[in-house]
Amino acid sequence: MSRILITGSAGGLGRETARLLVGAGHEVVLHARDEGRTREALAGVPGAAAALAGDLASIARTTELAHRANESGAFDAVIHNAGIGYREPRRIETVDGLAHVFQVNVLAPYLLTALVRRPARLIYLSSGVHRAGNAGLDDLQWGQRPWDGYQAYTDSKLFDAVLAAAVARRWPDVVGTSVDPGWVKTKMGGPTAPGEIGPGTETQAWLAVSDGSLALRSGGHFHHRQLRQTHSGVSDHAVQDGLLAACHGLTGQALVTNSPRADHETERKRHSHAS
């Protein structure tokens, strides 16, 4: 049995991935942006172990979420599923003065990666449209360019894949992967999406728990359990390092490169005794 945290699991792909993993006998901790949504998350995933609240559009609230996650015990895998789509008609600024799409889709998973006790596996939800993203790092907050909601979204999905590749390179003891779940019928994808939600959840669940050699291919980008080619920026070390440096600058938190992964069994026993 694995212990797994799934962000953004009150609905959509996150909820269905949680249901799949709970049904397979794993311990799943859910996440939603506030307490009301955590209650909805727990109601939607019978058998889930717990649900944590944290608004990913706030650095302070995301930091608090990371601390609560650590207090709950070590995880074997974290699925960074939470995200917002491409329909924002204007640049929305968060409480931290950042572009909403970038902060939720990119900065929050970065910050959680930096702060949550290192699991064996990290999975980041990207998209097939990441190939249309712009790997430039000079205007991540859309302060200079005219706003383009679709481009901001595709850029964010590119940077999610970059983040996965950077984690895989910097943390060789962790399997870091990114996933294209496909265009599926969710609130974000819309009712006219060609894909069903079920197949859109299987790859990230598989990456979280499978011991197959392909699932353990760190740095891979997957669609329907198959490796897929990525935007050239994903494997570019300068882009990886530049994104990490930008996120470090915005959050004050760096990805520590020399700290070992948590001993999950020891941590579980410690947490059980403390409880």
| Catalytic-role residue among 86, 153, 185, 187 | 153
| Catalytic-role residue among 157, 185, 187, 269 | 157
Query: Which is it for the CA torsion 216, 217, 221, 223, positive or negative?
Result: negative
Please state, in angstroms and rounded to a whole number, the distance separating the CA atoms of residues 182 and 220. Answer: 16
Q: Indicate the SS3 state at residue 41.
A: helix
Contact 231, 180 (CB under 8 A): no
Please state, in angstroms and rounded to a whole number, the distance separating the CA atoms of residues 183 and 270. Answer: 42
- The C-alpha angle 33, 190, 9, rounded to 5 degrees, equals 25
Please state, in angstroms and rounded to a whole number, the distance separating the CA atoms of residues 213 and 216. Answer: 5
Which of 151, 137, 122 lies closest to 7, judged by CA? 122
Kind and range of the H or E element at 82?
Answer: none
Q: Indicate the SS3 state at residue 142.
A: coil
Tell me if residue 185 is catalytic. Answer: no
From the number of C-beta atoms within 10 Å of its C-beta (0-12, 13-18, 19+), residue 83 rates as buried
Please state, in angstroms and rounded to a whole number, the distance separating the CA atoms of residues 84 and 22. Answer: 25
Please state, in angstroms and rounded to a whole number, the distance separating the CA atoms of residues 159 and 138. Answer: 13
Tell me if residue 124 is catalytic. Answer: no
Which positions are annotated as active-site residues? 153, 157
